Amino acid sequence: MKVKNLKIVLSFLFLIVVIGLFKLQVINYSYYCSLSKENRIRINPIIASRGDIYDREGNVLAKSRLSFNLAVIPQEAKKNETLLADLSSVVGISEKRLRNNLKRNTINYFVPAVIAEDIPRQQALYIEENNLNYNGAIIQTAPLREYLYEESLAHVLGYVSKLNAREYKKLKYYGYKAIDLVGRAGIEKSYNSYLKGEDGGFQVEVDNRGRRLRLIGYKKPQKGKDIYLSIDVGLQNYIYSLIEKKKGAVCVWNPNDGKILAMVSVPSYNPNIFINPNDEKNKEIRSIFSSPPENSPLLNRNIQAIYPSGSVFKIVTVMCGLETQAINKQSEFNCPGYIRLGKSLFKCWYRKGHGDQNAVLALKNSCNVFCYKVGLKVGIDNLSDYARRFGYGDCTGIDLPSEKAGLVPDRHWKQKLYNERWYDGDTVSLSIGQGYLQATPLQILRMASVIANGGYLVTPGLVNRIEDVNMGVGKIESCNFKMENLDTMGEGMDLVVSETGTGKRAQVEGINIAGKTATIQNPHGKTHAGFVCFFPYDVPEHAMVVFIEHGGSGGYEAVGIAQKIISYMKEEDII
C-alpha cells in the first residue's frame, strides 16, 4: 500500500518532467530552433562604403578610406582574461577603455564587438599575424569618411556620425545597424539615402568560439551613390580664405537656375572631428556644441541665420510701387534728408538729402526717403504681398536640412503677436528693410536673382547629378512682373556699382556688375554689412550675396569682399 503511494508520487513527478519536455520541444520548438540557428549561423557584415561627393569639375570633396578596427568576440574575452590586457599593450589604449568599449558594443556573445577603431595598419597586421596569441581578436576593415577640405565645405557637406541608441531603436527595423553612419547635416543628411550603401556580408556557420566552419552565403556590398555637386571647390576655398576670420555668409549661384557655385559660412568647423572621435576631438565637439547658438560654427548662416534685410529690401519697395502703378519710372519724390510722420522724424542716411529722386536714382543712391514715400503710398498690404512674391517669408527649398523661413510682417501678424494695430511708422521701417522683417542671406540672393533672370523665383540646388542621373533644375516660378519694371530695377542696380553709386567699390574692370548694398542695423553693436549683386549685367550668369556681421555701414566690408571674389572669378575664367 505504502509502496503504491510512492509509485503514484514518482509517476506524478515523471509526468511533470514529460510535460516540461513537451512544452520545450514541441510547443516552443520554433522559438528554440531559431535561437539555435542564431547561435550557429553568423553574419559577418562587410560594410558598404558611402558614396563619394565631388564638385562640378569632378574634384573629390568627401570620400571613404579603408580603416582597420579591432574587434573581439565577447565570449572569448570573458574566457581569456588576459586578452584585453594583451591587446591593450599592442594598440596602446588602456585596458579599462577597451573593456568599456567592449561592454558598449556587445550585441551578442558570439558577434565580434569593436573595441578600438581606426588602428594603424602596422598594429592591425601584427595582430592578424599573431592570431594564435590573441585568440578571439579579429581585425575588421571598415570604410571611414574623410572630408578633404575640412572647414571650407563643412556647411555644404555636413558630416556623418554613428547612430545613437535611441535612433538605432527606431531605425533597426529599416535595416540599419548600430554601427551605421548617418548624415547629420548638409548634403550628407539630405542625400543620406543615396549616399548610404547597402552592406553585404558572409553568412557562416561557426562554433562556440566563433570560428568559421563553413560558408553558407555571400552578399556583395553595394557602394552608395556618388554625388556631383554644382560647387566649384576652387572658388569655395578662395571665398573661405577671404572671410575665414569673420562672421558671415557668402553664396554664389547661377540666378537662372539656382545652381550654387559656392556657399561659405563662417565661423566653420572641421567635419573630420566627428569621424572616430578621440579625446582631443571630443573636446572640440563639446566646444562646438556648447557655443551660444548665434556663434555656433554648426550654423549655416546662408540659410539658418535670419537678419533684417536692410537696404536691399528697397528693391522690393520700389518694384512694388512700379507694379502697383503707385509710381512710374519718371515719378519723382524730393528727399530733404528726412520725412516727418506725426511726431516722429524718419531720416535718410544722407543727412543733406538726395533732392529729387526717381526710381533709378533712388536705388543708385539707396535713398531712404524715396522708399518711405513709396511704401506709404502702396501701403503695408501691398508691401508684404510683394515681399512674399519675391520669396521672403518662405523657405527657398534648397536641398539642405533645417532651412529657416524668415518673416514678413503684416497687419494680421502684428495684431496676433502684439495685439496692436499696424502703424504707418511700421510701414516706413519695412520699406527700407528694417523693423520686423527677417530674412536669410539666401532669400536675399533669390530676391535679387528675380531682377537678374527676368522675373522668376528659382529653387536653389547643390547637386548636379547623382551617379549618371542628372538632377535637373528645381522649380522655377514666374513672379508675373512686367519686363519694363524689371529693366528699371536693373538699371538702378547697375548704377549702384558705378563711379557715383553706393557700391562703387565692387567694380571690376571689364565686368558690368549690378548690385545693391545693405546696412543692417544691429542693436547689439556695429552694423552688419550686406551686398547682393549679379553680373555680367547684360546677360546675368552669376549672382552673389555677401553678408558680413559687424561689417560696417553702407555694406562697406561686404562690397570689398564681393569685388575680390568677382576678380577671382574673372581670373579663373569662371565668368
Partner 1 sequence: MMNFKDKNLSLPLTYFLIVIVGFLALYSASFSKGEINNAEYISHQLIWIVLSLIAILFVLIIGHRRLLDFSYVLYAVGILLLIYVILVAQPRLGAGRWVSFVGINIQPSELMKLIFILALARFLSSYKYQENGIKCIIVALILTGLPVLLIVMQPDLGTALVFIPVALSMLYVWGFRLRYIMLMFISAIAASPLLWFLLKDYQKSRLMVFMNPDADPLGSGYTIIQSKIAIGSGGFFGKGWLGGTQSQLNFLPEHHTDFIFSGIGEEWGFLGALLIIALFYFLIMRGLDLAMHASNMSKKLLATGVCVLIAMQVIINICMCIGLMPVVGLPLPYISYGGSAMIVFSVLIGILFNIKFEAQ
Q: How many residues bind partner 1 (CB under 8 A)?
A: 39
Least Å from the CB of residue 110 to partner 1: 9
The angle at the Cα of 464, spanning 460 to 466, to the nearest 5 degrees, equals 125
Stretch that binds partner 1, among 20-28, 54-62, 231-239, 469-477 (CB under 8 A): 20-28
Strands (E), 123-187: 137-147, 160-162, 181-183
Question: Does 36 sit near partner 1 (CB under 8 A)?
Answer: yes
Contact with partner 1 (CB under 8 A): which of 48, 139, 163, 206?
206
Least Å from the CB of residue 179 to partner 1: 21
Least Å from the CB of residue 208 to partner 1: 4
Least Å from the CB of residue 292 to partner 1: 46
Question: Does 21 sit near partner 1 (CB under 8 A)?
Answer: yes
**Contact residues for 275 (Cβ-Cβ < 8 A; gap 6+):** 144, 145, 146, 159, 160, 161
Question: Does 33 sit near partner 1 (CB under 8 A)?
Answer: yes
**Residue numbers 441-480 binding partner 1 by CB under 8 A:** none
For residue 248, the cross-strand partners are 266, 548
Question: Does 113 sit near partner 1 (CB under 8 A)?
Answer: no
Question: Does 120 sit near partner 1 (CB under 8 A)?
Answer: no
**Contact residues for 2 (Cβ-Cβ < 8 A; gap 6+):** none
Least Å from the CB of residue 22 to partner 1: 7
- Of 206 and 362, the one with the shorter C-beta distance to partner 1 is 206
Stretch that binds partner 1, among 205-213, 232-240, 259-267, 361-369 (CB under 8 A): 205-213
Q: Which three cell numbers stand for residue 210?
A: 566563433
Spell out the alpha helix ranges (H) of 162-278. Answer: 165-171, 186-190, 192-195, 233-243
Residue 67: closest CA among 141, 164, 157: 141
Contact with partner 1 (CB under 8 A): which of 128, 129, 198, 207?
207
Residue 210: closest CA among 73, 368, 357: 73
Residue 370: closest CA among 345, 348, 392: 348
Question: Does 100 sit near partner 1 (CB under 8 A)?
Answer: no
User: Quick one: CA torsion of 420, 421, 425, 430, rounded to 10 degrees?
Assistant: 90
Stretch that binds partner 1, among 5-13, 308-316, 394-402, 522-530 (CB under 8 A): 5-13
Handedness of CA 59, 62, 66, 67 (dihedral sign): positive
User: Is the peptide bond between 143 and the residue preceding it cis, with omega within 30 degrees of 0?
Assistant: no
- Of 74 and 455, the one with the shorter C-beta distance to partner 1 is 74
Handedness of CA 368, 374, 379, 381 (dihedral sign): negative
Contact with partner 1 (CB under 8 A): which of 66, 125, 213, 417?
213
Question: Does 13 sit near partner 1 (CB under 8 A)?
Answer: yes
Question: Does 22 sit near partner 1 (CB under 8 A)?
Answer: yes
Contact with partner 1 (CB under 8 A): which of 121, 172, 209, 212?
209
Question: Does 28 sit near partner 1 (CB under 8 A)?
Answer: yes
Question: Does 35 sit near partner 1 (CB under 8 A)?
Answer: yes
Among all chains, which residue has been given the C-alpha cell 518532467?
Answer: 17
Q: Which three cell numbers stand for residue 326?
A: 503707385
Strands (E), 188-337: 200-206, 212-219, 227-229, 248-253, 260-266, 333-335
- Of 31 and 418, the one with the shorter C-beta distance to partner 1 is 31
Least Å from the CB of residue 112 to partner 1: 15
**Residue numbers 498-537 binding partner 1 by CB under 8 A:** none
Residue 235: closest CA among 215, 256, 259: 259
Q: Read off the DSSP letter of residue 90.
A: H
* Largest pairwise CA distance in the chain: 129
Least Å from the CB of residue 212 to partner 1: 11
Question: Does 26 sit near partner 1 (CB under 8 A)?
Answer: yes
Least Å from the CB of residue 16 to partner 1: 8
Q: Is 325 left (phi over 0), alpha (psi -120 to 50) or beta?
A: left
Question: Does 487 sit near partner 1 (CB under 8 A)?
Answer: no
Question: Does 351 sit near partner 1 (CB under 8 A)?
Answer: no
Task: Provide the CA 65 distance to its chain's centre, in angstroms.
Answer: 23
Binding site for partner 1 (CB under 8 A): 2-7, 10-11, 13-14, 16-18, 20-22, 24-26, 28-29, 31-33, 35-37, 39-40, 74-75, 78, 109, 205-209, 213
